[in-house]
Structure 1
Amino acid sequence: MSPLTVLGVFCGLFLLLFLSEYDTHNCVPRKSVPYQGNMKRFRAEGIWNYSTMLVQEDLGLLLLGAREVVYALDISDISVTKAEVYWGVTDEKQKDCQYKGKHAEIECRNYIRTLHKVDNSRMYVCGTNAFSPTCGYMTYSEGNLTLEKTLEEGKGKCPFDPFQRYSSVMVGNYLYSATSFNFLGSEPIVQRSSTSSLRTEFKSSWLNEPTFVYMDFVPESRNNPEGDDDKIYLFFSENAVEYDFYNKLVVSRVARVCKEDMGGQRTLQKKWTSFLKARLDCSLPEPSLPSVVQDVFLLRDADWRRSVFYAVFTPQSCTSDVSTVCAYNVSAIGRLFDTGKFKTPVTVATSHVKWVMYSGEVPTTRPGACINNAARSQGIMSSLDLPDKTLQFIRDRPLMDEAVAPLTGHPLLVKKGAKFTRLVVDNVLALDGERYAVLFIGTEDGYVQKAVNYAGEMFIIEEIQLYQNPDAIKTMRLSISTGQLYAGSDYGAVQMPLSDCGRYDLCLDCVLARDPYCGWDLSAGLCSAVANSTYASGTPSYFSRKMIQSLKDGDVSKCPESETVKPENYTLFPGNNIKLSCTPDSNLAEVHWLFSGQPLFSDTKYYIYDEGLLIHNASAEDAGRYTCESAERVNGRTLTRTMAIYQLQTHPEGSEMTTELPYGHSTQGPEEPHTMDPPEPRRDDLRLVGLQVAVAILSLMLVGLVAWNLCKGQFKKSPSATGQLKDQSGNYMHIQNSDSEIKQLKPTPVHNANNNHGAVITFNGNREHNFSPGGNLLTVDGLGYINDESEI
């Protein structure tokens, strides 16, 4: 194949991918909160992998498991350590682990992977212990954390590999775990550790190279007229056995077992008789490979039938960066297991096994069902009494034919960007008397997305940056009593409040945030937490008058009128390049500029971008009033408000050429040039500009390849003799020099209540600069004419 053909195919695929991503559904957070150093944090020198957490609200502790140590931290301030216990490996264990081919300082250490509450002051803890998993009990008493001396083998309870996903849950005194049973990690197992231990079969039809994600307990025997048993639910992904695919296809699963399962009498001795699994469906609108489940959270209800599993999924294809969130009702999962069709393996030509829907007779005592009143009426009092026909059926056919559909029939949230890693969910009572599920979703770059569903619309309230440097969130926990979220990663733990209502200064911004935790207090004139009001004690009528909150509609009509924006007066000097700052408070808002009441659009004269308006080579005709307006769509309505007003006046001729800064400061004489970053294009132009750049690059590549084929040579392009301006990061941006002489910009000092404006910076032709943090205009010599947006 010729180079031209290869390049043509590449270009076509590249453009196809680019255009397909251009139309991808995406949910944008309304507000982005950058890294804040005032958050409570915990990190110990030389300690890594803070990936196991246990919230002990009765003790006021957050138990944090890391590599070779467990910390007891103050639940209200995790930077305060109450106690700690070190649990290292012996030299003998470490050498044995290294002899087996593992890294001595990374893998052959003791990583704490299990922390479960046993009673008020006692915890169950397990560690990898240099690929020799070990478990024991730990107590907290009188400010001391103590690991009991009697330890037990953790095989089947805790993974050998410190970086292998696994899950476990403590029910009473019994540990249910899903992990690997051997050193190589090739024998997956779902096990109950008790006096009557049970485990899964080592068969690919039961578990086929799984990655375990989450396990939890649902008390389905409570108020159950059928006398059914409690259930343990397990979420994982594995290689599919039911699909014919040229490569291994990963699918997401949910499985369950019965709490009182005792195994079979002859068939399935000491094995689960109730193990059933089904595929989880969380499909994207467009055709794609099945998404892979990464984490699950059970939002419990007083009636277990209304409890909901929330799950985050990521793509298994490297060409996609779209994460999703789906919700599954516990009752819907139960109905599928109790009444759905089974899949069965059949042998076709060339001894190939194919899985199809089972259409034969199902045993009367339904395979995989728990012991209920109907079974007891037939004399079956436990799984030991189940007939062999039922046990043989479930041994060979643990897979259901149908998939579990999401509660809403489709994903709750579809988000493009950094992949989701973990999630927790809080159930919040709002001022309208309804409860809302607020999702806190961790990402691979250390952000938390705070989202809620309003009448079928998923709304991301805000995204908060927890770590200064990108760091994947590996564990998350909630404390309802303290209203705090805890996140752990390889490099440390962070404590974040579930809400920060003080972030919203105006009533309009507070209501448009649509945060169930927050409302505008009319009497205090500030955005405050709803939970702090006595509404929680049952006086909604009072707070419907005193506090404003409109979650579904985003209705700001009840807000008091905000203070009128005062115009800022400045003197215009012809020939200058002028920047007028205006940044909206919301990522969902669009900025519109008006000049003397008429709309402005980007062209060779004006350039509108995220930080404001740039007027190139200003003239006397540019004097007048400039108004920056923010337009935000809320529930089908557009809300417009004025963000800033600038009044530019021409400078009278003959004035002294000095640069005066606001608040009475003036500067003269040569100084070092001030660096400046080029303006970023507007958000709605980014994709279009990117597409134009991609097409231009590919066109140049095609031309270059044609020329190479013709001339059998190479071209070198010498750098153009353009001016260079060095920015703060040490990078250079090339700006075409202008022949026009720089003029002076003389602002008239004016105070304004708005705080979203930048500083005044003026550059003179002799590379002098003047800077004031309180101003709003920027003039730069030598920008040249702006022919299109790509030159900015």
Structure 2
Amino acid sequence: MFSWSCFLCCHLVYSKVADKDSVLHLFISVQIFPIIDQTVLSYEWISMLSTRFGHVFPRFFLTGSLSLFAGLLGCNHFHGAAVNYSSLLLEDGPGLLYVGAREAIYKLDTTNISDTDISLSVTSSDQKRQCLSKGKNNQTECYNHVRFLDRYNDTHLYTCGTHAFRPRCAYIDVARFTFVRFEEGKEKCPYDPTKGYTGFIIDGEMYSASQYEFHNIPDIRRNFPFPNLRTDDSPTRWLLDFVGSAFLRESINSSIGDDDKLYFFFTERNTEPTAYSSQTKVARVARVCKGDIGGQRTLQRKWTSFLKARLVCAIPDYELHFNVLRSVFVVEGSNIHNSFFYGVFGLEWRNVKMSAVCQYSLRDVQTAFDGPYMELQDTKWREYTGKVPEPRPGSCITDQHRALLINSSRDLPDNVLNFARRHALMSRQIQPVGGRPVLLQRSADYTKIAVKQVVGLDGRVYDMLFIGTDEGWLHRAVKIRNRVHIIEELQLFKKKQPINNMVISQKQNSIYVSASTGVVQVPLSSCERYTSCYDCVFARDPLCGWDGRACAEIAAYTNRYSLVQDIQMGSRGCTNITSDGFVMHRTRAVMAGDDVLLQCEIRSNLATPHWTLNGQQLQGYGVDFGYRTGTDGLLIIGTQNQQSGHYRCYAVENGVWVPVRSYVVRVQPVPPPASHLSGSPTALPEKFQNYRHMEAMYISLVAVLGGLCLVLTLVLLYVSFCARNSPNRSSHFELKTISSHCNGRTEGRSRAMSRDGEFLQIVPVDIQTTPSKEPPPAPPLPLPPPLPASEYANGLSATLPSVLRKMNRNSYVLLSQTDTEMTSPLYHSFTEELNRILEKRKHTQLDIQPDESSV
């Protein structure tokens, strides 16, 4: 443990880490949790994993007023009177978006959600008072949070809410947008608004999954019509949090007469044997058959087809497992068996922000459910190796069952149902496509994901991923082969808040994103943001192409042969990409010996800057080479004549050099001085030529201060004389001296007034009638404090500095001053003092290579 701590501390201090807090969180996690496979979970280690197994940084990002707040993205916002917008129901045909929030349901126009605000209140004041009487939280719990909202039939919607810890459901008349009937909802909706929940209505049947009541364990239910079904207690006692569900019509064109299936995705406590004690949670997918109606004697009104298997999202080479499932999106293929889904996963350690996205095939899920079972033996789960009864337990009713006169689940034998009851867990784990995540993100916790398939100009189908974060950001990405390229990162909300839900509108070509404070309508693409051919191609956006003049959506073109797009490589198709047609030209004149900064702003986070001088690439950046590069540009240190020339800045991305800035730098020699300080015709050494313009300032400053001291002395003498000769004075003033040597040491108070380096201070003293007792000193009069001899009024040192740091435009800044061997220039000739210092420093080498702070 000590070695791990020291390792992380060394990384925290010495490595170039952008986010030190991340390393500190990792250090804490090392102290609390065992490290997987004795591997130190350091920031650099995670960075290496992210770089190797997926893109980390978005190519482009927009924040604050530079993005949607200024209308740059064409986004529309909706902020109603309610908060916590969590339920979204999109009906693309009529162009309506129903939004369920806390205490309200909104009906919005999908064309522009900002234009419509039709709300339906779901407040119940009586129930709220009862909730408060039970000691619940008035800020969160004692409200009606809408958790379920779906289409019931052609004329009505169906909704359920927590209703201040007493759930209720209601039917909504779509035409009038009013409630028409309320009913009990405690078996359909959770009490707690923070509990995981998922559900939908299919063919007039409602399915939901959650922890419904306080004392109940989470399970999956069919709420209506009769008979209601639920999961048996034995396989669900470890369920924790449901995150999503899907319905797939696998009966269509099925060669075996298969049934439709429902899939539920959740996280639960780990009960399986594992080599790492830190893995306390696992991600699961469960399946039930739509035609399941329960058993006749065994598993009455219980699912007979419930099976579950583990979803693995890990990097096996490093034993890094993402066990917490946060969101799922299912993509149906042209053939239902070719469907797949994406899952967003997180680590179990809350103090480490890192997410992963894994892709799974439905065929792999079916293979797992057709594989071996797990069995609980002596409190441990092991693979079952015994005989499996026929027909296969947990399977849907197919033509094979019907041949055995088993037409429904109630016809299944008891031995089959008992086996299914004890063996709901499958042994085979579901591995992601490619065996590892398609994306790792170390700087954010992903909360939601939505996917849209797009056909590119090359004829390939690309998956566009829209991923929401816990801070209100949206990542727009595209899956290319086995990796994910993040096109851009958008800040959707001014305040940091998790994204709750997302739905994609094919008709409006938009995605609707909800969070605590509102809903945002975001275009699926922002092609107009890319202002050049290479910018459009580098984005690798399947929705965008370059038409020769602008980057536009390819869907708007019937003839697409003239469009340029390169999603696979992101580098081909543009001509004259290295010309100076889009380059900004500047000319810079600089005095020899000065530092100059050539700025070069690169918009893409995936590009790196490269500089050339007169066509030759600059190599070996650093102080020793006279150059230094950074995020702002190129710093030329102590310019010399040979550094004049034509500088170009290139943004290198995907192997293509794109010119960004062009500078012509002219280094001008420093003009020789007219005469020496002492009046001799001999010129000063070259390294002191920059000091000459300060001579007049020093002489003027000394003269002004000398005059001020003279005036102050006369005023003090006059006041003292008047005070001593006043016949009716009740107190007198005593003049005392205060030492003001450059070293700041104070000498005796009774020294003579004419002594060098001392000032006068007026101290009031009361007259005492008893001469034997010395009167105590009184506070001084409110006169301006005297200036120390070692410092002028403007803060400059009276003596020349012993160390000067060179700045731009021949100006200097004081770094330190000499304490010994120099006296104040108030009492010595400035010319003599300067000659003495210059003679002393004649052979001293100035710092010609200052650090970056001198710029």
After TM superposition, the score normalised by the length of structure 2 is 0.72
Aligned to 1:773: none
Q: How does 1:616-765 map to 2 (within 5 A)?
A: 616-633=637-654, 638-651=655-668, 738-740=804-806, 743=809
Aligned to 1:129: 163
Tell me if structure 2 keeps the 8 A contact 1:89–1:129. yes
Tell me if structure 1 keeps the 8 A contact 2:89–2:150. yes
Quote the Cα distance in structure 1 between the aligned partners of 2:348 and 2:134. 31
Instruction: For structure 2, list consecutive stretches of 5 or more residues without a partner in the other structure.
Output: 12-39, 673-801, 815-846
Aligned to 2:507: 481
Q: How does 1:260-339 map to 2 (within 5 A)?
A: 260-285=291-316, 286-318=318-350, 320-337=352-369, 339=370
Q: Structure 1 residue aligned with 2:196, among 151, 162, 165?
A: 165
Q: Structure 2 residue aligned with 1:380, among 399, 406, 409?
A: 406
Quote the Cα distance in structure 1 between the aligned partners of 2:278 and 2:232. 22
Q: Structure 2 residue aligned with 1:104, among 138, 144, 148?
A: 138
Tell me if structure 1 keeps the 8 A contact 2:343–2:357. yes
Aligned to 2:770: none
Aligned amino acid, residue 149 of structure 2: L
% identity of equivalent residues: 34
Q: Structure 1 residue aligned with 2:606, among 588, 608, 613?
A: 588
- Secondary structure at the aligned position of 2:147 is classed as strand
Indicate yes or no: 2:548 matched with 1:527.
no
Quote the Cα distance in structure 2 between the aligned partners of 1:29 and 1:19. 19
- Secondary structure at the aligned position of 1:205 is classed as helix
RMSD between superposed Cα atoms in Å: 2.7
Quote the Cα distance in structure 1 between the aligned partners of 2:606 and 2:670. 44
Deviation at 1:156, TM superposition (A): 2.6
Quote the Cα distance in structure 1 between the aligned partners of 2:641 and 2:602. 29
Q: 1:789 to 1:377 in 2, by over 3 A?
A: farther
- Secondary structure at the aligned position of 2:453 is classed as strand
1:481-531 Cα offsets, whole Å, 9 max, x none, are 101011111122111100010111111111121111001113xx1111011
- Secondary structure at the aligned position of 1:408 is classed as helix
Aligned to 1:11: 6
Higher share of residues assigned helix: 2
Aligned to 1:510: 536
Deviates more, 1:116-125 or 1:354-363: 116-125
- Secondary structure at the aligned position of 1:496 is classed as strand
Aligned to 2:218: 188
Tell me if structure 2 keeps the 8 A contact 1:196–1:262. no
Indicate yes or no: 2:174 matched with 1:140.
yes
Q: 1:371 to 1:108 in 2, by over 3 A?
A: same
Deviation at 1:225, TM superposition (A): 1.2
1:109-160 Cα offsets, whole Å, 9 max, x none, are 001111112234521111110011111111332xx52222x11111231111
Deviates more, 1:192-201 or 1:508-517: 192-201
Tell me if structure 2 keeps the 8 A contact 1:198–1:272. no
Deviation at 1:72, TM superposition (A): 0.9
Q: 1:170 to 1:502 in 2, by over 3 A?
A: same
Aligned amino acid, residue 83 of structure 2: W
Deviation at 1:289, TM superposition (A): 3.9
1:377-423 Cα offsets, whole Å, 9 max, x none, are 00001000000000001111100001112133221212221111100
Quote the Cα distance in structure 2 between the aligned partners of 1:440 and 1:583. 28
After TM superposition, the score normalised by the length of structure 1 is 0.77
Tell me if structure 2 keeps the 8 A contact 1:189–1:199. no
Quote the Cα distance in structure 1 between the aligned partners of 2:508 and 2:373. 46
Deviation at 1:463, TM superposition (A): 1.7
Aligned to 1:20: 45
Tell me if structure 1 keeps the 8 A contact 2:333–2:339. yes
Q: 1:65 to 1:640 in 2, by over 3 A?
A: same
Aligned amino acid, residue 413 of structure 2: P
Indicate yes or no: 2:290 matched with 1:259.
yes
Instruction: For structure 1, list consecutive stretches of 5 or more residues without a partner in the other structure.
Output: 1-5, 348-352, 535-541, 656-735, 745-762, 767-783
Q: 1:786 to 1:124 in 2, by over 3 A?
A: farther
Quote the Cα distance in structure 2 between the aligned partners of 1:83 and 1:52. 16
Quote the Cα distance in structure 2 between the aligned partners of 1:96 and 1:246. 44
- Secondary structure at the aligned position of 1:96 is classed as helix
Aligned to 1:431: 457
Quote the Cα distance in structure 1 between the aligned partners of 2:5 and 2:225. 62
Q: 1:737 to 1:259 in 2, by over 3 A?
A: farther
Quote the Cα distance in structure 1 between the aligned partners of 2:80 and 2:260. 44
Aligned to 2:209: 178
Quote the Cα distance in structure 2 between the aligned partners of 1:129 and 1:147. 15
1:449-486 Cα offsets, whole Å, 9 max, x none, are 12222232322222222123322111111101101011
- Secondary structure at the aligned position of 1:401 is classed as coil
Aligned to 1:711: none
Deviation at 1:566, TM superposition (A): 6.1
- Secondary structure at the aligned position of 2:7 is classed as helix
Quote the Cα distance in structure 2 between the aligned partners of 1:259 and 1:202. 17
Indicate yes or no: 2:231 matched with 1:231.
no
Higher share of residues assigned strand: 1
Aligned to 1:3: none
Aligned amino acid, residue 472 of structure 2: G
Q: 1:236 to 1:785 in 2, by over 3 A?
A: farther
- Secondary structure at the aligned position of 2:664 is classed as strand
- Secondary structure at the aligned position of 1:10 is classed as helix
Aligned to 1:60: 95
1:678-723 Cα offsets, whole Å, 9 max, x none, are xxxxxxxxxxxxxxxxxxxxxxxxxxxxxxxxxxxxxxxxxxxxxx
Quote the Cα distance in structure 2 between the aligned partners of 1:518 and 1:230. 37
Quote the Cα distance in structure 1 between the aligned partners of 2:174 and 2:265. 32
Higher Cα radius of gyration = 2
Q: How does 1:195-206 map to 2 (within 5 A)?
A: 195-201=225-231, 203-206=233-236
Aligned to 1:152: 183
1:324-368 Cα offsets, whole Å, 9 max, x none, are 11112222212321x200000111xxxxx0110001111111110
- Secondary structure at the aligned position of 1:548 is classed as coil
Quote the Cα distance in structure 1 between the aligned partners of 2:401 and 2:8. 59
- Secondary structure at the aligned position of 1:183 is classed as coil
Quote the Cα distance in structure 1 between the aligned partners of 2:50 and 2:294. 47
- Number of positions where the alignment pairs a residue of Structure 1 with one of Structure 2: 648
Q: 1:741 to 1:258 in 2, by over 3 A?
A: closer
Quote the Cα distance in structure 1 between the aligned partners of 2:360 and 2:47. 30
Quote the Cα distance in structure 2 between the aligned partners of 1:384 and 1:477. 38
Aligned to 1:356: 382
Quote the Cα distance in structure 1 between the aligned partners of 2:161 and 2:516. 16
